[in-house]
Amino acid sequence: MRSYLVLRVVAKLLMPFILVFALYVQFHGDYGPGGGFQAGVIFASGFILYSLIFGIQAAGAVMSRGILRFATAMGLLLYAGVGFYTMLLGGNYLEYDVIAADPTKGQHIGILVIEAGVGITVASVMIAIFFTFAGRRKADQA
């Protein structure tokens, strides 16, 4: 791969901002437009940009298949786990009110954890989809 200096520098500059912006969207979801889905996609797009410019091997070193698979499952488990937890506390499935003494606070904590789960899953699935397709083409040419 030829190295385009401009691309590399710009990508390196942009990466932290993309990731931080993803986190911002993730945690600002309580107060404004945002949330786990969008944040996950933005987070993943950061990684996809990285792998487009530095190659899939380099990106794969940061996020291996195993980690991705693990993260996908964990995100889903986190989501379902919160629902289970509220059931154990005596509420209905995903009834956040019971998490904390104060219902409003309970809602806050509940939706934050849920969105974190969604974010993790979406991000890892998106990266996994990209890796799968991009990696396959390489296998064909070889």
Partner 1 sequence: MMAGFYIVIAHDNLIKKIVGLNIFQAAVFVMYISFGKVAGGTAPIIAEGFSAYSNPLPHVLILTAIVVGVATTALGLALVVRINEEYGTIEDDEIQAADDEQPQ
Partner 2 sequence: MIAQLPALIVVIPLIGAPLCMLVRYRDWSWTVATLCTWASFVCAWIILQQATSGNTISYQMGGWAPPLGIEYRIDLTNAFVLLVVTGIGSIIMPYARESIRSEFGTRRIYFFYTAYLLCFCGLLGVTITGDAFNLFVFLEINSLATYVLIAMGKNRRALTAAYQYLILGTIGATFIVIGIGLLYAETGTLNMYDLSNRIAEVGASRTIGAAFAFLVVGISLKLALFPLHLWLPNSYTYAPSMISAFLAATATKVAVYVLLRFLFTVFNYELTFDALPLDYILACLALIAMFAASTVAIFQQNLKRMLAYSSIAQIGYIVLGISFASSAGVTAGMVHLFNHAMIKGGMFLALGCIMYRVGTVNINKLDGIGKRMPLTTAALILGGFGLIGVPLTAGFISKWYLVTAALERGWWPLGFLILLSSLLAVIYVWRLVEAAYMKPVPENAKVVEEAPGSLLFPTWFLIGASIYFGIETNLTVGVAMDAAKQLLGGLG
**Residues near partner 2 (CB under 8 A):** 69-70, 72-74, 76-77, 80-81, 83-84, 87, 91-97
Q: Applying CB under 8 A, which of residues 66, 133, 141, 142 lies at the interface with partner 1?
A: 133
Distances (CA, A) of 20 to 2, 65, 77, 105: 29, 23, 24, 25
Which residues are CB-neighbours of 53 under 8 A, at least 6 positions away? 4, 7, 8, 11
Q: Applying CB under 8 A, which of residues 57, 64, 92, 132 lies at the interface with partner 1?
A: 132
Nearer to partner 2, 60 or 83 (CB): 83
Which residues are CB-neighbours of 134 under 8 A, at least 6 positions away? 51, 56
For the window 19-58, what string marks contact with partner 1 as x by the rule CB under 8 A? ------------xxx---x---------------------
